[in-house]
Structure 1
Amino acid sequence: MSDLLVRLYPAEYRAAYGQEIVDVHREMTADLPRPARLRADADLVAHALRVRLGLDSASPAGRFFALAAPFALAAGAVGSGLHLTRWYTGLVLSPAPVWVQLSTMDGPWALSLLLSLLVCVGAVIALTGGWVLGVGVAVCGLLGRAALWSAAVPVPGEGALAPVAAALLTAAVVLACPADRRGDRPLSAAAGAMAAAGWFPVVVVDAGAYTGAFGVTTDYGAWPMLVLTFTGAAVALRSRSSGLRELGAMAVASPPLVAYAYTDVWGDPWPALGILLLLPVMATATVVCEAVRRRR
């Protein structure tokens, strides 16, 4: 079986490491029960496909997605969290009794809320150390939301195409993270802080507690994207890089926030396109700042 599985690797990689992979795999699985052996075979297949696609930890693409994955999870949690808290705020502020509102909630809307909760819970678990479990929960929520919207279920206030594309792209980015680069603690901490900073002021404004929280308007869904962009610049400056790689990773992580902005203005593309300009502007500013710092 090992010989057959190794054929999934590219020819050059197989010529260099194939026999070593076969020997190690046979030694590791020799005394394992059948279910454990099948899991080991699946891991070998996954690694072979990553190498073939250039997504292993040694490749530039693998390192790029390892950087982007925590922030994609965080962005997905922000979008789902805002979906949940806006529903809850409306539930609390409505003059109708809570039990009446809950009893009249239709199935698709309740399912949408449940799937959003899965994304949020999964992101929290993944970013606090339980990467495999958390990603599994979050991806189930993302794919479930994509299926719900693609089935043309009428979800009030939200279109179909943007949320579906955002959910699928986010799941793909998270799953593209190489296995040995998952759960990087500094990146997870930065992603968690970004999620909190992107979510909380919008909730405050939606609740009517304060308009223009922290001096920045939350109109047009701009605030979460602004937080993501500045986080990318901060990560770049901390690592003393040009910022192009970090801001590129933020761009890959941004679909949930772009979809949130797009649906927040009822399908008007211009605000969403406008906030996308934040990324190249911030990338340019980061490059200039790093160039100035190196000259000193």
Structure 2
Amino acid sequence: MSDPLVRLYPAAYRAAYGQEIVDVHREMTADLPRTARLRADADLVAHALRVRLGLDSASPAGRFFALAAPFALAADAVVSGLHLTRWYAELVVSPAPVRVQLSTMEGPWALSLLFSLLVCLGAVIALTGRWVPGVGVAVCGLLGRAVLWTVAVPVPGEGAFAPVAAALLTTAVVPACPADRRGDRGLSAAAGVMAGVAWFPLVVVHTGAFGVTTDYGAWPMLVLAFTGAAVALRSRSSGLREFGAMAAASPPLVAYAYTKVWADPLPTLGVLLLLPVTAVGTAACQAVRRRRRLGV
């Protein structure tokens, strides 16, 4: 059974490792029941396709998506969390009884809240150590949101294209993470901190405790940009891969900013410039650090 599956690998990879893969796969599946054997075959097919597409952990693309995936998940959790907390704040301040508000809630709005809750729960589960089930829950929420916003816009006045595109891009980035690089503790912790810092101050602002009424969607993107700088400085790299990963993770935050300014492109362009400006600043810091280390 495994010989035809091994043919899914590229010819060069198959010539170098094909026989070893066949032997290991046969040994692992020899005494397994049919269901477990099918699961092992599916894992082998998935790995073969990753190698063919250049998304295995040894490839540059695989390492890139391993870095981008937790931050993409965290970015969508930020947007979903803001959606939920905004609804909760409106629920609390409204003079109507909570029971009445819940009973009169429109279907698309209720589904939008449900899908946002799934994204948040999935992100928490994935970033706290159970990557596969967490990503499964989050992807269900993302795909549900994309379908919902395609059929009906839950929030009047907000366009559907930006949220749908952001959800689909995140759905493409997160599963592309190689299997043996999922749930990296350091990256998951950094992504979790980024999500908390991006979400909590806006919740405080929305309570009316401060005079600020809007940040034009810039604060979450600013937090993501500084997170990319911190990761790059910690790894002592040029920052190119780190900021590329942050750019891949940013579509939910860009869509959030775009809807916050009522589809006005100019403030959104300013938000988009935060990543490259921070990347240039990080590269300059790295250059100064290298010069000092060399004693120039």
Which TM-score applies when normalising by structure 2?
0.96
Rate the CA distance shift 1:157–1:79 in 2: closer, same or farther, 3 A: farther
Q: CA deviation at 1:286?
A: 0.6
SS at match of 1:105: coil
Given that 2:247 and 2:275 are in contact with CA atoms closer than 8 Å, whether structure 1 keeps it comes out as: yes
| Deviations, residues 167-192 of structure 1 (Å, cap 9, x unaligned) | 11111111000000011111111100
Unmatched tracts of structure 2, length 5 or more: none
Match of 2:152 in 1: 152
Kept in 1, the 8 Å contact 2:153–2:159? The answer is no
Higher alpha-carbon deviation: 88-97 or 176-185: 88-97
Q: How does 1:1-296 map to 2 (within 5 A)?
A: 1-212=1-212, 218-296=214-292
Per-residue deviation, 1:157: 4.5
Instruction: Give the C-alpha shift of residue 218 in structure 1.
Output: 4.4
Give 1:4 deviation, angstroms: 0.9
C-alpha distance after superposition, 1:204-232 (max 9, x if no partner)? 111111234xxxx8421100000000010
Give 1:94 deviation, angstroms: 1.2
CA–CA distance in structure 1, aligned partners of residues 76 and 290 of structure 2: 35
| Bigger mean CA offset, 144-153 vs 274-283 | 144-153
Q: Tell me by how many angstroms 1:82 deviates.
A: 0.5
Quote how far apart the aligned CAs of 1:159 are: 1.7
The 3-state SS of whatever aligns with 2:216 is helix
Q: Is the 8 A contact 2:84 2:117 kept in 1?
A: yes
Distance of 1:234 and 1:9 partners within structure 2: 37
- Aligned partner of 1:128: which letter? T
Which blocks of at least 5 consecutive residues in structure 1 are unaligned? Answer: none
Cα distance 1:157–1:203, how it changes in 2: closer, same or farther (>3 A)? farther
Q: Cα deviation per residue 1:1-60 (whole Å; 9 max; x = unaligned)?
A: 211111111111111111111111111111111110110011001001100110000000
Q: Distance in 2 between matches of 1:168 and 1:7?
A: 30
Q: 1:81 to 1:179 in 2, by over 3 A?
A: same
The CA distance in 2 between the partners of 1:27 and 1:211, in whole Å, is 66
Once the two structures are TM-superposed, the CA of residue 155 in structure 1 deviates from its matched residue by 3.1
Q: Cα RMSD (Å) of the superposition? A: 1.1
How many residue pairs were aligned?
Answer: 292
CA distance in 2, matches of 1:237, 1:103: 51
Q: 1:227-253, CA deviations, whole angstroms, 9 ceiling, x for partnerless residues?
A: 000010011001111111111110000
* Distance in 1 between residues matched to 2:78 and 2:229, nearest whole Å: 19
* Alpha-carbon distance in structure 2 between the residues aligned to 1:88 and 1:219: 20
Task: State the one-letter code of the partner of 1:86.
Answer: R
1:73-132 CA-to-partner distances (Å, cap 9, x unmatched) read 100100100111111111111122211111110111111100100000010111111111
Between 144-153 and 171-180, the greater mean CA deviation after superposition: 144-153
SS of 1:110's partner is: helix
Contact 2:91–2:98 at 8 Å: present in 1 too?
yes
The question of whether the paired residues in 1 share the 8 Å contact of 2:77 and 2:123 is answered with yes
C-alpha separation in 2, matches of 1:156 and 1:87: 14
Q: What displacement does 1:193 show?
A: 0.4
